[in-house]
Amino acid sequence: MMHMHKRVGNSTLELIEGDITELDADAIVNAANSSLKMGGGVAGAILRKGGYEIQEECDRIGYCPVGDAIITTGGRLKAKYVIHAVGPKWGEGDEDEKLKNATLNSLKLADERGLRSIAFPAISTGIFGFPMDRCAKIMLSATISYLQGNTQLERVVFCLFGKDAFETFRKTLEELLP
C-alpha cells in the first residue's frame, strides 16, 4: 500500500492507496448522487460493509443538491459517520465549481460536527466520468486552502483506488505543495 503525507497549517493531508471502507477515520466520504440512492462504486462498497441503515437514513433525508453534502451514521463501518457528498456528472455544466463545493462542504460539515479526521475518495471520477487529474487539482487545492484557515480537523485523507489514481494525486500534491 502506498502512502504519503504533508503538513498544512495544523493539520496533516494524507494520500493512501486502498479501499476507503477499511479506513479508520471519524468520517469517510461517499461519492453520492442527489437522490441519495447508493448505487455502485464507493457507495456500493459502503453499503455492503456498513449496512442498510445508512441507506435508510439517506432515504429519510431524501435529497441533496450537487455540490453539497449530508451526514449519516457509518453503521458497521470503522468510521462513525458517512458524509455523502454529491459531485457533478461530467458534461452537466459548471463541474469544477460543483466538485470544489462538494469538497469544501464536506470539510465544513465534519468541522461543524467536531470531527477530527475525514477520508475522501476521488469524487465523480468513476461512474460520473470526471477526469482524474482535474479532480486531483480541484479537491487538493480546495482542501489545502480550507486547512490554511480555521479548522479543528487534524487529518484529511484521500483514499485512491489503484496505483494510477494514487500517482495522479501524488504528482498533483507535489506540484501544489513542493
Binding site for ligand AR6 (CB under 6 A): 19-21, 31-33, 38-43, 45, 87, 121-128, 159, 161, 165
Angle ∠(104,15,126) on CA atoms, nearest 5: 70
Nearer to ligand AR6 (CB atom), residue 86 or residue 144: 86
Instruction: Give the nearest distance from C-beta 112 to ligand AR6 in angstroms.
Output: 23
Instruction: Give the nearest distance from C-beta 71 to ligand AR6 in angstroms.
Output: 16
Nearer to ligand AR6 (CB atom), residue 61 or residue 114: 61
Instruction: Give the nearest distance from C-beta 42 to ligand AR6 in angstroms.
Output: 4
Q: How many residues does the chain have?
A: 178
| Helices and strands of the chain, counted as H and E runs | 5, 7
Nearer to ligand AR6 (CB atom), residue 58 or residue 115: 58
Instruction: Give the nearest distance from C-beta 149 to ligand AR6 in angstroms.
Output: 26
Nearer to ligand AR6 (CB atom), residue 93 or residue 149: 93
Question: What is the spatial distance between Cα 121 and Cα 94, in angstroms, rounded to a whole number?
Answer: 20
Nearer to ligand AR6 (CB atom), residue 127 or residue 176: 127
Check: CB of residue 104 under 8 Å from CB of residue 115.
no
Instruction: Give the nearest distance from C-beta 47 to ligand AR6 in angstroms.
Output: 9
Question: What is the spatial distance between Cα 106 and Cα 157, in angstroms, rounded to a whole number?
Answer: 13
DSSP 91-159: TSS-HHHHHHHHHHHHHHHHHHTT-SEEEE--TTSSTT---HHHHHHHHHHHHHHHHTSS----EEEEE
